[in-house]
Amino acid sequence: MDRINRMGKRQRMKSCPCLLILSESLLARLARLINKGMKNKNVIVTGASSGIGRATAELLLRAGAQVALVARSRSALDRVAGSAEGGRAFAIAADLSREEQAESAVAAAVEAMGGLDLLVNAAGIIRSGRIEDTSLDEWDDMMNINLRSVFHLMKLAAPHLESTGGNIVNVSSVTGLRSFPGVIAYCVSKAGLDQLTRCAALELAPRGVRVNAVNPGVVVSNLHRAGGMTEEAYAAFLEHSKTTHPLGRVGSPEEVAELILFLASDKARWITGATVSVDGGRALTCAR
């Protein structure tokens, strides 16, 4: 009887497209509510000149937020700010591995926007290398950008976020959850970022500040090319990645940005300390 009922339910859904329309309208309403909740919010997005950082900044701007765009290249930030739609964009050039520049960036952003509701740590670098051929300088570079600077920015932002009941979203990686050969420093930096997210979530929860992270799989961006991968090698890497992600494709920066927007919104107000995969199933598989 249960099997008959289930078959009947499926048949009714097939014969009644109104159910599909209803579900689509509910999703559209949820998206509108999330966007509405971001209107006039004050946001810092690091790594905003390209990739996931840029896609996140542009999505937040379209939702009506004020966004401080932070990255090393002022010209790249100006291009993002110049094409922004919706809210106001503020370009702030800074090398976040330099303590004084990180401090100046947060201070300038808070002053320009009048407060801070959200910090998105999307800045990051990658370098290939195994344990025997990763130099200490390369190790330090990845730890400084991918982990140390994030800790510093969270430390600087926490008092402002406490006053507004704001939150933090860190951009980690599937490599924070799983081990992969040939990128040892990157994997360790992202695993550290995941633990930093969890520890900070516990410490900041009593102050009303949520902290979460997203863990993307392979996403089409400038990350690997900036890390020294040639165009030919990158094209081959993307093609191979279709076979390593169970859904059969790599991701887009916009797909990660949408998850960041949700975690930053009031719709996720009971979520903290989470590391959420957005990876086409990559974290479910073994290294290959």
Count up the domains in the chain and report the number: 2
CA distance readout (Å), 64 to 28, 36, 47, 105, 168:
17, 8, 20, 21, 18
Tokens of 75: 């010209």
Q: Are residues 274 and 233 in the same domain?
A: yes
**Residue pair 201/263 in contact by the 8 Å Cβ criterion:** no
Q: What is the rounded CA–CA span in Å between residue 188 and residue 192?
A: 6
Write out the residue range of the structural domain in which residue 2 sits.
1-38
Three-state DSSP class for 262? helix
Contacts of 241 (CB under 8 A, 6+ apart): 217, 218, 250
Q: For the domain that residue 105 is a member of, what is the CATH number?
A: 3.40.50.720
Question: Are residue 55 and residue 32 in the same domain, yes or no?
Answer: no
Q: 123 and 28, same structural domain?
A: no
User: Does one domain contain both 19 and 95?
Assistant: no
Residues 135, 17 share a domain: no
Encode pLDDT of 189-228 as tens digits. Answer: 999 999 999 999 999 999 999 999 999 999 999 888 887 8
Distance separating alpha carbons of residues 204 and 22, to the nearest angstrom:
39
My answer on whether 189 and 275 are in the same domain is yes
Residues with a known catalytic role: 186
Identify whether residues 159 and 183 lie together within a single domain. yes
Question: Domain check: are 34 and 53 in the same one?
Answer: no
Residue 287, Cβ density class (10 Å: 0-12 exposed, 13-18 middle, ≥19 buried): exposed
Per-residue pLDDT of 160-200, as tens digits, reads 999 999 999 999 999 999 999 999 999 999 999 999 999 99
Residue pLDDT, tens place only, 58-70? 999 999 999 999 9
pLDDT digits (tens, 9 = 90+) for 11-38: 554 555 555 565 667 666 666 667 778 9
78/1 same-domain check: no
Confidence (pLDDT) at 240:
93
Q: Give 254-284 pLDDT, tens digit per residue.
A: 999 999 999 999 999 999 999 999 999 999 9
Same domain as 18, residue 131: no
Closest to 219 in 3D by CA, of 262, 141, 279:
279
